[in-house]
Amino acid sequence: MERPLTKNIHLNRPPLDAKEYEMAGGYLAVKKALLKMAPVDVIELIKESNLKGRGGAGFNTGMKWSFVPMGEKAPSTKYLVANADEMEPGTFKDRLLLEGNPHQLLEGMIVAAYAIQANTGYVFLRFAYKEAAKRILQAIKEAYEAGFLGENILGSGFTFHLHLHTGVGRYMCGEETALLNALEGKRATPRAKPPFPQVSGLFGKPTIVNNVETLCNIPHIINNGADWFKSLSHSEDGGTKLYGVSGNVNAPGCWELPMGISMRELIEEYAGGMKEGYKFRGVLPGGASTDFLTELHLDIKMDFKSVSMAGSRLGTGTMIVLDDRTCPVGFVHNLEQFFAHESCGWCTPCREGLPWVEKILWSIEQGKGSLTDLDLLEEQARLLGPGNTFCALAPGAAEPLQSALKYFREDFEQHIHQHKCPYD
């Protein structure tokens, strides 16, 4: 089984430096793209590979790049941003790549910047990733010294300067337009679309924002081709995927596996199944802002289409497992408390609705709820849904809530009838 993203990552040793990375085949994609390919050819290759964004949206990466204005009449200033603000609860895949092989990210960014003709790039990093910050800064320094960053890279005529920007620690900064506002030194609030960042992004210039894992795939596609990348997958989505599992399983962790592996195989084989004394009850398949799935869904493929057809989203591909000894009401309350705290307050449904949801759930968890509270929660889940807010924070927060009411309604009712949490 090929694992291009993690083959050079070894947790018991420091990441490869620039020379070691080159010896392992690193920066060959930069040489190939900048010296042998036109920007449009790079975009078409990535588009053909069917690399979908690994940040959760699942949009075709090459298609996204193709929306950037090109040619003589296009703005001369463009930007590329790596979204490394990994603050989705339950998600930890990008940290593995950032700490384990930072040069792989840099190489992907250089090629991506060349494709859209961006001369400046930023790695927007989660504030808490201190070790990642040190390793990225060291890798940037080494890349400049080796001639892979800076002016006239490899004599190609292409210039690219890269900077590390550490966020202030707000979940909102993971939304691409709020991220751009934060980069500009403004409050991290979402922007209305259109215009989209590909046309008017950072400082009003064309900008591409891609997830860390997305960008790390780029060098391997350039080196090996679109057909090779698609052959790694068990589904129509190209490539491998970093999948994670957390919760009361025997071996929580993160693994690079073929896109489209089954949920059952992930939980039972790679995560070692449930701990002794615990039974599987449900799972958030793609981080905290996705809908619960249950035992009925264990054999679905973990790809964008299959998970969507099952009623949830692949998201980041990092699963949070709910067991039979954990209260689903308390579980969801914990998530909604986080989302309410992290709301930027820009739009009314999110600013007012999420704190209300959190208070209702807390009341139910304390045995002080009523059956009418369930109707209120369902109404709020609808009002917080897609199309009612500026960004996806509130709709994402509504997903675990609405699905918990669907699959675990008896637990909510037990809290109300017994006037206490039955799991205490």
Dist CA 14 CA 203 (whole Å): 36
Two tokens, residue 162: 């890269």
Q: Using 50, 70 and 90 to split pLDDT, how confident is the model at 1?
A: confident
Residue 14's alpha-carbon distances to 93, 103, 108, in angstroms, are 18, 12, 20
Q: What mean pLDDT is predicted for residues 232-256?
A: 96
Q: Does the CA dihedral 99-103-104-107 come out positive or negative?
A: positive
- Cα(363)–Cα(358) distance, integer angstroms: 9
| Distance, CA of 98 to CA of 287 (rounded, Å) | 19
Percent of the chain past pLDDT 90, that is, above it, reads: 95
Q: CB within 8 A of 198, min separation 6: which ones?
A: 64, 65, 67, 68, 206, 207, 208
Pairing of strands 280-284, 253-258: unpaired
Confidence tier at 424 by pLDDT (50, 70, 90): confident
**pLDDT digit string, tens, across residues 329-360:** 999 999 999 999 999 999 999 999 999 999 99
Residue 6: per-residue pLDDT: 97
**Cα 85 to Cα 105: distance, rounded to the nearest angstrom:** 14
pLDDT of residue 11 exceeding 90, the answer is no
Answer whether residue 361 shows pLDDT above 90: yes
Query: Model confidence at 168, in pLDDT bands (50, 70, 90)?
Result: confident
Amino acid 412: pLDDT = 97
Please, what is the average pLDDT of the chain? Answer: 96
Average pLDDT over residues 171-178: 94
| Domains observed in the chain | 18-231 (3.40.50.11540), 240-323 (3.10.20.600), 328-418 (1.20.1440.230)
CA dist 385 → 353, 388, 394, 395, 405 (Å)? 11, 6, 7, 4, 15
**Angle at alpha carbon of residue 56, lines to 50 and 57, rounded to 5°:** 65
For 19-26, what is the mean pLDDT?
Answer: 97
Output the pTM of the full model: 0.96
Structure tokens at 333: 């309350």
Task: At 94, list the tokens.
Answer: 């990008």
Contact call for residues 200 and 193 (beta carbons, < 8 A): no
